[in-house]
């Protein structure tokens, strides 16, 4: 049963690792080297760790503020403090260059190296692909071998990534100085002959202590802090050549970028939050300003340093941080994880590695000082490390003595070195255990993964063989605790390391060394002597050499360090000391006059070269320099003369210049020196600085608008920002107290202040004075104004039996329109009316509600209806009963108020906005349908609850702004004979505000409606046909959603108006074409009843013309026109006679009816 459970466990673990761990090998495009630009891309093999970056939020922010740009001096700072940009050409090793660059920048930031540092990228790349067993043999069974014979690319072009770099560097494979076999200049030889295995370990200049992954997209400030601390972070992206801008040294790509390129690793070394988005190439600019300053590996002149937009699409999430040390204090790295690939133990959080303490010559014991943990996939992991020594059962990590324990919590996902609070002594030959507990499933173990020519074929030749040893069958050094006791882990070895130092209990024997003396051209009395390490050198021999004076003993024949009797011996091997000599002065023969003149000339020129020109320089200064030069040469018989001295003083506006000629003479020999130097431009005076600042301040305050809300602080900030942008820092500008007269709805206001300025001794001021526009009336004021108008209107309304609520509303509305009051809402309530009769007066009353916003008031309409006059009785004899008189026509009933479910308390306003240049445009629409056409259900409900809807129909002339693409679309649907007369843009804009005045939808563009708008364009004179022998046809073309189409339209020649209906709103064009006029057979009407020259475009099948809208001038013959006119006149005479007869009959009937009605009453 136990065996079955173990087999099942192994199977589940294997399946879990297979599903959770994806291949890091990718078919990245490996571009060929561009010989001209030395670019190599496609050499980064993207890892899942580059994409999936868990976030960690620090509890404490160690940086109070982050600068908007860093470093302050940009690339100049990088040139001053860091190595020159490297060049990976001609290999795909960007990942190695970026990794070693991170190490170099980190060490320089810690003052453990200077800009001369040069770490080997070749050593990292070679041993990543071709591994060696570590000195303690802990990684035995783990290996990586690259089979060049099976690959199309050599290992230097196969690519890599930061994850593999972390694995190798944490194994102490590097970092090594770039020299000897591992110099990058030896790369070609390394491809053919390999590199000596001794370079894998023990030649390291520094070791990786920690590595972190931070999400550069979601935590950019944390990345910036890491750059400040460590100098740089490593990132990867897909480099497209089309994303480059060489003019600005910038790069930006988008989701839709395509073309030659591939994965690339670079270092981010700075940033500028205000770097303009306009500095990037292409029509599709970044949405935001801001860019990272990036260090490349293509040489200084090929995007050596460039700016990458924050919005770059292919920039992956992970920013890698490397933390190195040149002196970590450790001698040994106990480890079992020598492979590159990793999986997470998703089953256990309690594991251990057991180590055997190696026996080494001269080492009595070791001291365990630190442990490393790998949480590269997980952030914020709580852990406890227990150390057990002297195990009695090497298969039981708890069978020894617990010596110490340390607990903590990781931050970002990464690799961590954890120092022990209490160091632990380890006996050679004994076993000790590092036991690890975590608060989440984050423990990592090594994994086997190889690549072949054909991954689907198991027999396919292996290209890169990556193997992890079998812990369960072979090593049995990694354990898990899942059921209360430890068992051998069926996975690869856990990525837990232990770091120790070597120690000895014995005092070393006295170290003696032989020092040999090299007289270095002289003679020495003794050849050598014996010295003791830790003692001084003691008495040293005195050599002799003819013509020279002995200067001392040195460790090198040329240079080196000086050694004297008191120097303490610190040798590890025998030594040779070299004598240094100073040649004794030689008496030279007398110089000729020419030689003296030349010597003096050289001495004067040397001093003049040192002279810094200024406005204070005088001819006396040149005389003193020449005189001192003669004195220094000792040639007192040489004379000189300074002549032709001129000087133009420098000012704050321009540089100056000083010139002179110095003649030198000795006997018959002479020479001259032409002295000419520029005087540096002077800094500006305080007054000039003040004037510059005054101009900036004047411009800044000119753009400030006066308002009741303006404050001294807001003015000060605008001025401070303007001075900062103008790079003016040494002028003090202070805004004085404001003299503020607030504006009201009845009166404008003003604001005044004195702005004081000073720079050194210079002072000045600027008066700030702005008018404040009158405020809009309050809702209460609007209601009060409306009430006055309503009361006046009501006084003019006569009360009659026929008076209706609608009559009162119309009187109110007309009065408000006439008074120009549009914002107050006035509603006449239900009219209560008692009709007047002949016996009693009546009464009409209603409440008129007035509101604006939350302000409300009312006016009472209450009037008496006068009694009706009495009607005279009719004659006694009663005629036959006449037909009942028809009920008098009632005035139209006022609109009934909406039912509660349909009630709309708000307003819907329709505002045409026409801007078509000289073209006259009219727009008509069924406004009653606007609500159902334009508003959705939610917007209707807002209006129903008292909100407002403003619908603007806008027609705009865009003839000057139409794009070439739009022109081509329009031209694609018209024939070659047609011309384009004008372009317009037709838009419907919707603004929704709720009952409280909050804007819900602000000028939203409505692209389509269910109800058509009718647009009438009155064409300008230049679009009308002036040639009577031609016929002109007009068409309307619309572009909607990128599709051009001809819209049905109608031309009215009489008014010069082109009409069309549309329910889609976008770009429109009016086109026309001319053709020779045809003979018109029927001058009056065609078969469809349309007059010629007034053709309905909706009937395109008329035989007389193929064109839809035709302008015919003079096509009807004069005699036909006269005949038509006579026919109409005859018809009119008959109609008049008939109408007269009907009218007389109607009047007679009315008189009889009235008499009968009176008699009946």
Number of H helices, E strands in the chain: 18, 52
Q: CA-based angle 848:851:855, to the nearest 5?
A: 130
Task: Judge whether residue 162 has pLDDT over 50.
Answer: yes
Fold category of 593-679 in CATH: Nuclear Transport Factor 2; Chain: A, (3.10.450)
Helix or strand or coil: residue 618? coil
Answer for the pair 365, 168: CB distance below 8 angstroms, yes or no: no
Q: CA-based angle 752:753:757, to the nearest 5?
A: 150
- CA 135, CA 146: separation in Å to the nearest integer? 22
pLDDT given for residue 494 in this prediction: 97
Using pLDDT thresholds of 50, 70 and 90, give the confidence band for residue 734: very high
Using pLDDT thresholds of 50, 70 and 90, give the confidence band for residue 929: low
H or E element in which residue 689 lies = helix 686-702
pLDDT given for residue 880 in this prediction: 43
pLDDT given for residue 892 in this prediction: 41
Question: Which range among 404-408, 474-478, 559-563, 987-991 shows the weakest confidence by mean pLDDT?
Answer: 987-991
Mean pLDDT over 556-572 rounds to 94
Task: Judge whether residue 463 has pLDDT over 60.
Answer: yes
Task: Judge whether residue 905 has pLDDT over 70.
Answer: no
Question: Which range among 367-376, 431-440, 742-751 shows the weakest confidence by mean pLDDT?
Answer: 742-751
Task: Judge whether residue 640 has pLDDT over 60.
Answer: yes
Question: Which range among 256-260, 958-962, 1094-1098 shows the weakest confidence by mean pLDDT?
Answer: 1094-1098
What is the per-residue burial (b if ≥16 Cβ within 10 Å, else e) of 277-315?
bebbbeeebbeebbbbbbbbbbbeebbbbbbbbbbbbbb
pLDDT given for residue 895 in this prediction: 42
pLDDT tens for each residue of 247-268: 899 999 999 888 777 899 999 9
Mean pLDDT of the chain: 84
Rounded (to 5) percent helix, strand, coil in the chain: 25, 35, 45
pLDDT given for residue 824 in this prediction: 92
What is the per-residue burial (b if ≥16 Cβ within 10 Å, else e) of 131-149?
bbbbebebbebbbbebeee
Using pLDDT thresholds of 50, 70 and 90, give the confidence band for residue 1003: confident
Mean pLDDT over 573-589 rounds to 89
Which residues, at least 6 apart from 484, have a Cβ–Cβ distance to it below 8 Å?
A: none
pLDDT tens for each residue of 341-350: 999 999 999 9
Using pLDDT thresholds of 50, 70 and 90, give the confidence band for residue 1141: low
pLDDT tens for each residue of 740-781: 999 998 899 999 999 999 999 999 999 999 999 999 989 999
Strand ranges for 283-412 from DSSP E:
291-295, 305-309, 318-325, 332-334, 341-344, 350-356, 365-375, 382-389, 401-409
Answer for the pair 217, 235: CB distance below 8 angstroms, yes or no: no
pLDDT tens for each residue of 55-81: 998 776 655 689 999 999 999 999 999
Mean pLDDT: which of 39-48, 277-286, 388-397, 972-981 is highest?
388-397
Using pLDDT thresholds of 50, 70 and 90, give the confidence band for residue 943: confident
H or E element in which residue 1051 lies = strand 1049-1052
Using pLDDT thresholds of 50, 70 and 90, give the confidence band for residue 42: low
- Tell which wins on pLDDT, 879 or 597: 597
Mean pLDDT over 420-436 rounds to 97
Name residue 486's beta-bridge partners. 481
Mean pLDDT over 1058-1071 rounds to 89
- Cα 582 to Cα 204, 546, 579: the distances in Å are 41, 11, 10
pLDDT given for residue 506 in this prediction: 67
Using pLDDT thresholds of 50, 70 and 90, give the confidence band for residue 620: very high
For 1110, the token pair is: 């035709």
Please name the residue that has the structure tokens 């206001």.
749
pLDDT given for residue 964 in this prediction: 80
pLDDT given for residue 1025 in this prediction: 86
User: Domain residues of the chain, as ranges?
Assistant: 71-323, 329-467+476-503, 512-583, 593-679, 686-772, 779-865, 907-1076
DSSP one-letter code for 199: G
Long-range CB contact pairs, 795-802, < 8 A, 24+: 797/861, 797/863, 798/863, 799/842, 799/843, 799/844, 799/863, 799/864, 799/865, 799/866, 800/836, 800/865, 801/833, 801/835, 801/836, 801/842, 801/865, 801/868, 802/891
- CA 9, CA 283: separation in Å to the nearest integer? 57
pLDDT given for residue 147 in this prediction: 92
H or E element in which residue 311 lies = none
- Domain 512-583 homologous superfamily, CATH: Listeria-Bacteroides repeat domain (2.60.40.4270)
Using pLDDT thresholds of 50, 70 and 90, give the confidence band for residue 903: very low
Using pLDDT thresholds of 50, 70 and 90, give the confidence band for residue 647: very high
- Tell which wins on pLDDT, 314 or 4: 314
Question: Which range among 325-334, 673-682, 1101-1110 shows the weakest confidence by mean pLDDT?
Answer: 1101-1110
Mean pLDDT over 632-636 rounds to 88
Task: Judge whether residue 872 has pLDDT over 70.
Answer: no
- CA 816, CA 382: separation in Å to the nearest integer? 75
Return the percentage of the chain with pLDDT > 70, whole number.
83
pLDDT given for residue 1152 in this prediction: 47
- Cα 174 to Cα 96, 103, 111, 118, 231: the distances in Å are 11, 10, 19, 12, 20
Task: Judge whether residue 12 has pLDDT over 70.
Answer: no
Using pLDDT thresholds of 50, 70 and 90, give the confidence band for residue 928: low
pTM score of the predicted model: 0.47
- CA 270, CA 225: separation in Å to the nearest integer? 10
pLDDT given for residue 257 in this prediction: 86
CATH number of 329-467+476-503, picked from 3.40.50.1820, 1.20.140.10, 3.40.50.620, 2.60.120.820: 2.60.120.820
CATH of domain 71-323: 3.90.70.10
- CA 100, CA 96: separation in Å to the nearest integer? 6
Task: Judge whether residue 1061 has pLDDT over 70.
Answer: yes
Question: Which range among 2-11, 91-100, 641-650, 686-695 shows the weakest confidence by mean pLDDT?
Answer: 2-11
Q: CA-based angle 1131:1135:1141, to the nearest 5?
A: 155
- With CA atoms as reference, report the closest residue to 343 among 181, 489, 514, 216: 489
Long-range CB contact pairs, 1050-1054, < 8 A, 24+: 1050/1095, 1050/1096, 1050/1097, 1050/1098, 1050/1109, 1051/1094, 1051/1095, 1051/1097, 1051/1109, 1051/1110, 1051/1111, 1052/1094, 1053/1093, 1053/1094, 1053/1111, 1053/1112, 1054/1094
- Cα 799 to Cα 178, 795, 828, 887: the distances in Å are 108, 10, 15, 22
pLDDT tens for each residue of 1007-1029: 788 778 788 888 888 888 888 88
Task: Judge whether residue 30 has pLDDT over 90.
Answer: no
pLDDT given for residue 818 in this prediction: 92
Helix or strand or coil: residue 571? coil
């Amino acid at each position: 049963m136990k065996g079955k459970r173990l087999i099942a466990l192994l199977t589940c673990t294997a399946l879990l690792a297979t599903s959770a761990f994806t291949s890091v090998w990718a078919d990245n495009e490996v571009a060929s080297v561009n010989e001209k630009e030395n670019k190599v891309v496609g050499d980064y093999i993207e890892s899942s760790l580059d994409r999936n970056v868990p976030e960690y939020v620090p509890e404490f922010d160690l940086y109070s503020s982050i600068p908007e740009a860093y470093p302050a001096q940009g690339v100049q700072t990088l040139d001053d403090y860091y190595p020159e940009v490297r060049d990976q050409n001609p290999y795909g090793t960007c990942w190695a260059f970026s990794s070693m660059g991170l190490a170099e920048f980190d060490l320089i930031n810690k003052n453990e190296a200077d800009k001369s540092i040069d770490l080997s990228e070749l050593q990292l790349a070679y041993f990543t692909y071709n591994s060696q067993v570590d000195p303690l043999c802990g990684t035995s069974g783990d290996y990586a071998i690259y089979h060049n014979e099976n690959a199309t690319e050599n290992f230097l072009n196969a690519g890599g990534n930061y994850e593999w770099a972390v694995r190798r560097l944490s194994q102490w494979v590097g970092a090594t100085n770039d020299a000897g076999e591992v110099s990058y200049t030896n790369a070609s030889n390394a491809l053919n002959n390999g590199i000596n295995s001794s370079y894998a370990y023990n030649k390291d200049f520094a070791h990786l202590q920690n590595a972190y992954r931070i999400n550069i997209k979601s935590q950019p400030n944390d990345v910036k802090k890491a750059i400040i601390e460590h100098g740089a972070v490593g990132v990867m992206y897909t480099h497209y050549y089309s994303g480059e801008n060489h003019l600005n040294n910038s790069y930006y790509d988008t989701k839709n970028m395509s073309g030659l390129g591939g994965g690339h690793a670079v270092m981010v070394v700075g940033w500028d939050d205000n770097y303009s988005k306009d500095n990037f190439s292409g029509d599709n600019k970044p949405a935001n300003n801001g860019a990272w300053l990036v260090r490349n590996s293509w040489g200084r002149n090929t995007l050596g340093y460039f700016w990458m937009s924050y919005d770059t699409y292919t920039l992956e999430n992970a920013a890698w941080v490397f933390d190195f040390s040149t002196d970590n204090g450790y001698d040994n790295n106990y480890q079992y994880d020598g492979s590159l690939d990793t999986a997470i133990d998703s089953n256990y959080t309690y594991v251990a590695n057991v180590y055997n303490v190696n026996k080494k010559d001269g080492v009595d014991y070791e001291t365990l000082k630190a442990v490393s943990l790998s949480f590269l996939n997980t952030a914020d992991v709580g852990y406890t490390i227990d150390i057990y020594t002297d195990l009695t059962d090497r298969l039981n990590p708890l069978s020894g003595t617990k010596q110490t324990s340390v607990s903590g919590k990781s931050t970002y996902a990464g690799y961590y070195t954890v120092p022990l609070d209490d160091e632990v002594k380890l006996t050679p030959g004994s076993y000790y255990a590092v036991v690890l507990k975590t608060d989440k499933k984050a423990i990592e173990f090594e994994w086997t993964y190889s690549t072949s020519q054909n991954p689907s074929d198991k027999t396919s030749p292996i290209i890169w063989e990556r193997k992890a040893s079998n812990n369960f069958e072979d090593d049995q050094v990694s354990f898990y605790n899942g059921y209360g006791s430890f068992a051998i882990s069926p996975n690869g070895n856990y990525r837990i390391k232990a770091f120790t130092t070597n120690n000895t209990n014995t005092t070393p024997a006295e170290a003696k060394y032989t020092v040999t003396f090299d007289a270095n051209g002289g003679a020495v009395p003794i050849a050598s002597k014996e010295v003791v390490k830790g003692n001084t050198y003691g008495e040293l021999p005195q050599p002799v050499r003819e013509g020279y004076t002995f200067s001392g003993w040195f460790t090198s024949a040329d240079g080196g360090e000086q050694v004297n009797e008191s120097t303490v011996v610190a040798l590890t091997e025998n030594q040779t000391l070299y004598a240094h000599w100073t040649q004794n002065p030689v008496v030279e023969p007398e110089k000729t006059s020419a030689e003296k003149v030349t010597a003096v000339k050289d001495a004067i020129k040397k001093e003049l070269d040192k002279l810094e020109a200024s406005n204070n320089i005088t001819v006396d200064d040149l005389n003193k320099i020449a005189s001192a030069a003669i004195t220094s040469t000792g040639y007192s018989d040489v004379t000189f003369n300074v002549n032709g001295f001129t000087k133009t003083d420098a000012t704050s506006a321009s540089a100056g210049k000083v010139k002179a000629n110095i003649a030198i003479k000795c006997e018959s020999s002479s020479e001259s020196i032409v002295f000419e130097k520029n005087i540096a431009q002077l800094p500006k005076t305080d007054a000039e600085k003040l004037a510059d600042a005054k101009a900036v301040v004047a411009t800044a305050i000119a753009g400030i608008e006066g308002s009741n809300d303006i404050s001294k602080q807001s003015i000060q900030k605008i001025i401070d920002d303007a001075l900062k942008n103008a790079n003016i820092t040494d002028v003090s500008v202070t805004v004085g107290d404001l003299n503020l007269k607030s504006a009201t709805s009845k009166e404008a206001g003003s604001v005044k202040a004195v702005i004081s300025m000073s720079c050194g001794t210079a002072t000045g001021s600027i008066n700030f004075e702005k008018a404040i526009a009158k405020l809009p009336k309050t809702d209460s004021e609007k209601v009060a104004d409306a009430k006055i108008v309503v009361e006046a209107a009501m006084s003019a309304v006569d009360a009659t039996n026929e008076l209706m609520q609608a009559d009162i509303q119309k009187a109110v509305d007309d009065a408000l329109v006439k008074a120009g009051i549009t914002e107050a809402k006035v509603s006449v309530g239900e009219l209560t009316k008692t009709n007047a009769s002949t016996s009693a007066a009546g009464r009409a009353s209603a409440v008129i509600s007035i509101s604006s916003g939350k302000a409300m008031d009312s006016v009472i309409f209450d009037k008496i209806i006068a009694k009706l006059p009495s009607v005279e009785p009719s004659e006694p004899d009663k005629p036959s009963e006449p037909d009942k008189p028809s009920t008098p026509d009632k005035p139209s009933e006022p609109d009934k108020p909406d039912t509660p479910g349909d009630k709309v308390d708000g307003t819907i306003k329709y505002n045409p906005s026409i801007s078509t240049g000289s073209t006259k445009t009219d727009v008509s629409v069924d406004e009653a349908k606007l609500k159902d056409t334009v508003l959705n259900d939610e917007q209707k409900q807002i209006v129903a609850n008292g909100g407002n809807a403003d619908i603007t129909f806008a027609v705009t002339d865009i003839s000057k702004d139409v794009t070439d693409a739009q022109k081509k679309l329009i031209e694609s649907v018209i024939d070659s004979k047609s011309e384009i007369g004008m372009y317009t843009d037709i838009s419907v804009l919707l603004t929704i505000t709720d009952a409280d005045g909050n804007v819900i939808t602000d000028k939203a563009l409505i692209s389509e409606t269910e109800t058509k708008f009718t647009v009438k364009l009155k064409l300008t004179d230049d679009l009308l046909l002036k040639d009577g022998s031609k016929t002109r046809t007009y068409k309307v073309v619309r572009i909607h959603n990128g599709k051009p189409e001809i819209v049905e339209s109608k031309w009215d020649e009489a008014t010069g108006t082109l009409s069309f209906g549309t329910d889609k709103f976008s770009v429109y064009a009016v086109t026309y074409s001319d053709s020779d006029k045809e003979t018109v057979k029927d001058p009056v009407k065609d078969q469809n009843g349309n007059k010629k020259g007034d053709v309905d475009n909706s009937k395109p099948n008329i035989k007389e013309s193929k064109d839809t809208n035709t302008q015919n001038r003079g096509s009807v013959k004069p005699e036909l026109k006269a005949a038509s006119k006579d026919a109409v006149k005859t018809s009119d005479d008959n109609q008049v006679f008939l109408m007269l007869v009907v009218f007389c009959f109607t009047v007679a009937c009315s008189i009889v009816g009235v008499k009968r009605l009176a008699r009946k009453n």
